[in-house]
Amino acid sequence: MEVKRTSNIQLPSYAELQNILRYESKRDVDIAKQGTTYATFETIIKLLKFFDLPTEFFEDFKFEDLKDVTTYTAVVEMYNALASKVLENQNNPDLILLLDQVYDYVSEIDELQKADILFVFGSKTTVRTETAIRLYQEGYAPKIMISGRCPFYEIDKGEKSEAEILGEFALQQGVPKEDLILEKTSITMPDNVKASLNLLEHMNVPHQKIILVNSPYCQRRGYAHFNKFSSAGTELIRINTDKIAEKFSKSGWYKDENGLKTTLKEFFGLRISGLINTG
């Protein structure tokens, strides 16, 4: 029997990945983007080489390889070993230089400018929504879209979606209902993107220019998925949250196991998305 994940810092099994793909919204990738990936792995490979850990997963790998229990176990062991070695050597100045490069890559942002819509990736806290509300109030976009039901491993709980909870918060902060769009079904970041773009098109809401409001540690992955699934000519503006917990900050992420694994796991998500043509 498959052991289900209980935490976002655990890697999903191949079986869970297959179930996720069956659940996620469907959306065609523009033919011009079919063979393009929007992520690179030089920084994580350098980090792995620093500890003499295997790099094959990020260099020469196919999605189907995860079917092999031995191969998948080796990937999980590499992920856990990397986290352990970083925690053990967190005061090494040469390592810190590499870790800063890793964080700079995932958290890169753009110059803020006005757009058609503010997009918020769902989460358990209001931090992303708070930043979107501020930008909305400052006139950077006329609408806010919040996307997300819950992580796939929590789907059986039957609770109110993250989008609904965050939407209620936005209403309490003075955002008019007509300026809020909620996407309440998605269970992963690529699903956020696919389901939301489908909904915006269905509603005929302009979205040629989108501000992506996200946490620094996962900004790159959201950007990759939006690049993959958006229409040609769509302009994406990456803006990180105004607030960030110390364990997810540039100076603190590698000193806390949760912050460390959350950030490192972004590279695994980016790699999988490249293998299955979603990022």
pLDDT of the chain along its 279 residues, tens only? 455 677 889 999 888 999 999 999 999 999 889 889 999 999 999 999 999 999 999 998 999 998 999 999 999 999 999 999 999 999 999 999 999 999 999 999 999 999 999 999 999 999 999 999 999 999 999 999 999 999 888 888 878 999 999 999 999 999 999 999 999 999 999 999 999 999 999 999 999 999 999 999 999 999 999 999 999 999 999 999 999 999 999 999 999 999 999 999 999 999 999 999 899
Contact partners, residue 162, CB within 8 Å, separation at least 6 = 122, 123, 124, 146, 148, 149, 150
- The structural domains of the chain, ordered by start, are 14-18+31-107+253-275 (no CATH), 117-242 (3.40.50.620)
What's residue 1's pLDDT? 43
Q: Has this prediction a pTM greater than 0.75? A: yes
